[in-house]
A = this chain, B = another copy of it.
Amino acid sequence: MNEYLKHDEWCIIEEGFKPENHQSSESIFSLGNGNMGHRAMFEEQYSGETLQGTYIAGVYYPDKTRVGWWKNGYPEYFAKVLNAPNWIGIDVKINGEMLDLAKCKVSEFVRTLNMKEGVLERSFVATLSNGNQVKIEAKRFLSIVTTEVGVIRYSVTALNFDGKISFNSYIDADVKNEDSNYDEKFWDILNTKSMTGEAYITARTKKLDFHVCMNMRYQVLKNGQDVAATADIIEKEKYVANSIEFNVEQGDELSFYKYVSVLSSLNHSKTEISGNAAKVSAAAFEKGYGALLEEHVAAWAEKWSISDIVIEGDVAAQQAIRFNIFQLNQTYTGEDERLNIGPKGFTGEKYGGSTYWDTEAYCVPFYLSTSRPEVTRNLLIYRHKQLQKAIENAEKLGFKNGAALYPMVTMNGEECHNEWEITFEEIHRNGAIAFAIYNYIRHTDDKKYLAEYGLDVLVGISRFWSQRVTYSTAKNKYVMLGVTGPNEYENNVNNNWYTNTIACWCMSYTQEAFKYVKESNPVRYEEIIENLNFDFETETARWSDIVENMHFPIEKETGVFLQQDGFMDKEQLMASDLDPQFRPINQFWSWDRILRSCFIKQADVLQGVYLFEENYDLETIKKNYNFYEPRTLHESSLSPCIHSILASKIGDIDSAYEMYLRTSRLDLDDYNREAHEGLHITSMAGTWMSIVEGFGGMRVVNGQLSLKPLIPGQWKSYSFKVLFRGNLLNIFVSADEVGVINEEGEDVSIFIKDDEYKIEKSSSLVIENE
């Protein structure tokens, strides 16, 4: 834990400069706009500890893998989010002395992330060793309207001197990834040019040939008035800059406005990228700081209007949930189906910035309720476009006939991970990808998606499961041998209950999907059958046989679903038996000890109970929750939210709230002392789920929205918005009342605590909350 941030409803605020918190703050105050992002590094030079990080969506690098003992089938490379050239830099000299917060006296330091407006601000007074005192006010944003543009306003006021102040504004392509496997640099420079008032660098990645061009323009105002000066033009091999000096008198304020365009070859032809970058930065320069900021703030207001959650009576909780929502909206905007959501978003390098099953299992529910359907649809299409790679991936593992295994970690559809127990065996990920299709259609009613894109993916996945099971003559049942479930503290187990469950569900749902497509679009149906070379009778008969005859491990006396075969042979200890000082156990225990313990890293059986809740009565859910919760260590950020939702489900609001707390301020209060590496972006969606699906009890049942609201005793009220099939509903919950405003769309019927209510368009409903 490290609680150094001030509580505030709309802002993240750091008061006073402590270098030891700086790298965490660099993560926490990160900016992004879906198209690019960066950590909250300082514009001016900083010689203290910093993790410079500038990222461009979709621009990655296949770093040569490092492995101890090669296994057949391992991928040759691990795709990494690429640290791109740094364009925010503005060196500041005061009478020849470089401003550097590691080398001067700093007072009145405040760093603010204004989440309402999407703006990073910083102000402080610096006293340099030459005695000169300056006040700095810096403000920057990445436009979510013109997403190739970033803007900085950097103001220096001479507090106690007359003299010279200079700005050296640069773009620096001499960057590297901290997690490079062999300490290699990943960029080649194609083109650099610096001229008066403008400079740019075009660089290409050493592999895959992504091109990126960054072009900067700037303007300087003195006390609000345009001021001209001759710039020194600086051009090095991997660096361009303009350096410009001004005379000031005490009290003068110089404001440096930097407009930078950041373009990548994902969106521009390689021959035109440099020219386009010049045009984009010129247009931004023309439009000017004020107008750019205004449209940016307006666009954020629009986002908040459908995704905000308001909590009354608990500022820390209010701040936290907004932080989670803000980061999710910064990371992925759903405009480009080639993009996805890395576990650290644009806030750090770790985990390679690649796509995991986190997207489908955690992020999809968030975007479904808080964005237009296209946003989630693009996440699904991302996987659809990678189907062929998933088929090839399965072929490498010996599967045939179009069976598809989606990778555990990927950028472009190819597997990047290389631990056999994960890469080859953590196959439940395939189920999450199928479930996301179901979830999307359940929420949006966009059934046409099946014929357009969904069915191909479902068939590939079901074919995989059908080949992956083994018929055990000993058990007279189908079994699934050698898997790793969501609980990665078990490897190579047999009959992981969750995996078997989702596998059977996939094979059933694919048959339903076939049925729907056949009825609704027989032409397309025939086309799919032919394209997939699908032997309907034989293949679906096998699927049905597997579904009917799958082995599910169950504890005989209690009927608890067993995580895997043999789970009850373990010593049945509880998390509370562990000495907290030796947690997380993976930092203290050897792997074999973890594996043979009964301790659970993250929801596993309970992940299945959560996903398929409608199949289980409350008693069953309680029984399983009460069995697994005490054995679960929540040593993954993805874990507490699922437990929180189930605790709400069984009416245990105190446990639900306790679990909610673990997820909501995970990064803000740096629970695990790892915020400096980047934020847990994907698990932030789980925090949102804990409120909406947990406390709010929101479900989609038979095509209708259903709520079963509870409220933690610590809160006065909370409200959240849900976009559901054309309606925008604003749901308010207090201890006394449940209110629903039908803000957009036609009349709607919803269930609250199992009673159906009709809410006409643009009207609201208030009922008592018993």
Is A474 positioned at the interface, with any CB of B under 8 Å from its CB?
yes
Is A96 positioned at the interface, with any CB of B under 8 Å from its CB?
no
Given A72-B586, A492-B491, A570-B481: A592 in contact with B472 (beta carbons within 8 A): no
User: Which stretch, A61-69, A215-223, A600-608, touches the partner chain B?
Assistant: A61-69
Is A590 positioned at the interface, with any CB of B under 8 Å from its CB?
yes
User: Whole-angstrom distance from the CB of A326 to the nearest CB of chain B?
Assistant: 32
User: Which stretch, A37-45, A416-424, A720-728, touches the partner chain B?
Assistant: A416-424
User: Whole-angstrom distance from the CB of A571 to the nearest CB of chain B?
Assistant: 5
- In whole angstroms, what is the CA distance A471 to B570 when docked? 8
Give the residues in chain B near A418, CB-CB below 8 Å: 68-69
Is A616 positioned at the interface, with any CB of B under 8 Å from its CB?
no
Closest to A70 in B: B68
Are B586 and A473 neighbours in the complex by a CB distance under 8 Å?
Answer: no
Give the residues in chain B near A754, CB-CB below 8 Å: none
Contact string against B for A residues 567-597, beta-carbon threshold 8 Å, 1 for contact and 0 otherwise? 0111110000000000000111111110110
Are A592 and B424 neighbours in the complex by a CB distance under 8 Å?
Answer: yes
Give the residues in chain B near A67, CB-CB below 8 Å: 66-68
Q: Which of A67, A481, A572 has the most CB of B within 10 A?
A: A481
- In whole angstroms, what is the CA distance A72 to B587 when docked? 6
Are A72 and B569 neighbours in the complex by a CB distance under 8 Å?
Answer: no
Are A481 and B596 neighbours in the complex by a CB distance under 8 Å?
Answer: yes
Is A71 positioned at the interface, with any CB of B under 8 Å from its CB?
yes
Are A494 and B566 neighbours in the complex by a CB distance under 8 Å?
Answer: yes
Are A590 and B424 neighbours in the complex by a CB distance under 8 Å?
Answer: yes
Are A72 and B590 neighbours in the complex by a CB distance under 8 Å?
Answer: yes
Is A700 positioned at the interface, with any CB of B under 8 Å from its CB?
no
Give the residues in chain B near A419, CB-CB below 8 Å: 68-69
Are A569 and B470 neighbours in the complex by a CB distance under 8 Å?
Answer: yes
Which residues in chain A, 46-74, are within 8 Å of chain B measured between CB atoms? 65-69, 71-73
Give the residues in chain B near A591, CB-CB below 8 Å: 71-73, 420, 424
User: Whole-angstrom distance from the CB of A656 to the nearest CB of chain B?
Assistant: 31
Closest to A396 in B: B590
Given A67-B67, A68-B68: A589 in contact with B398 (beta carbons within 8 A): yes
Give the residues in chain B near A571, CB-CB below 8 Å: 470-471
Closest to A424 in B: B592
- In whole angstroms, what is the CA distance A666 to B397 when docked? 30
The SS class assigned to the A binding surface is: loop
Are A588 and B471 neighbours in the complex by a CB distance under 8 Å?
Answer: no
Closest to A493 in B: B492
User: Which of B72, B470, B592 has a CB less than 8 Å from the CB of A588?
Assistant: B72
Given A72-B586, A569-B475, A570-B481: A420 in contact with B470 (beta carbons within 8 A): no
Is A565 positioned at the interface, with any CB of B under 8 Å from its CB?
yes
Closest to A65 in B: B68
User: Whole-angstrom distance from the CB of A708 to the nearest CB of chain B?
Assistant: 36
Is A425 positioned at the interface, with any CB of B under 8 Å from its CB?
yes
Give the residues in chain B near A590, CB-CB below 8 Å: 71-73, 396-398, 420, 424
Contact string against B for A residues 466-488, beta-carbon threshold 8 Å, 1 for contact and 0 otherwise? 00001111110001011000000
Are B68 and A592 neighbours in the complex by a CB distance under 8 Å?
Answer: no
Are B65 and A482 neighbours in the complex by a CB distance under 8 Å?
Answer: no
Q: Which of A419, A470, A474, A589 has the most CB of B within 10 A?
A: A474
- In whole angstroms, what is the CA distance A481 to B571 when docked? 10
- In whole angstroms, what is the CA distance A262 to B475 when docked? 64
- In whole angstroms, what is the CA distance A752 to B396 when docked? 55
Q: Which of A66, A398, A491, A569 has the most CB of B within 10 A?
A: A569
Are B593 and A397 neighbours in the complex by a CB distance under 8 Å?
Answer: yes
Q: Which of A68, A425, A473 has the most CB of B within 10 A?
A: A68
User: Whole-angstrom distance from the CB of A617 to the nearest CB of chain B?
Assistant: 25
Are A420 and B472 neighbours in the complex by a CB distance under 8 Å?
Answer: no
Give the residues in chain B near A472, CB-CB below 8 Å: 568-570
User: Whole-angstrom distance from the CB of A395 to the nearest CB of chain B?
Assistant: 10
User: Whole-angstrom distance from the CB of A65 to the nearest CB of chain B?
Assistant: 7
User: Which of B424, B565, B586, B589 has a CB less than 8 Å from the CB of A566?
Assistant: B565
User: Whole-angstrom distance from the CB of A144 to the nearest CB of chain B?
Assistant: 36
User: Whole-angstrom distance from the CB of A430 to the nearest CB of chain B?
Assistant: 13
User: Whole-angstrom distance from the CB of A709 to the nearest CB of chain B?
Assistant: 41
Are B398 and A593 neighbours in the complex by a CB distance under 8 Å?
Answer: yes
User: Which of B69, B470, B492 has a CB less than 8 Å from the CB of A492?
Assistant: B492
Closest to A571 in B: B470
Binding site for B on A (CB under 8 A): 65-69, 71-73, 396-398, 418-420, 424-425, 470-475, 479, 481-482, 491-492, 494, 565-566, 568-572, 586-593, 595-596
16 intermolecular pairs with C-beta atoms under 8 Å apart: A67-B67, A68-B418, A71-B590, A72-B587, A72-B589, A398-B590, A420-B592, A424-B590, A470-B570, A470-B596, A472-B569, A473-B568, A482-B595, A492-B492, A494-B566, A565-B565
Q: Which 3 A-B pairs have the closest CB atoms?
A: A73-B590, A424-B592, A474-B568
Contacts A73-B590, A424-B592, A472-B569 supplied; 8 other A-B pairs, CB < 8 Å: A67-B67, A68-B419, A397-B590, A424-B593, A474-B568, A479-B569, A494-B566, A565-B565
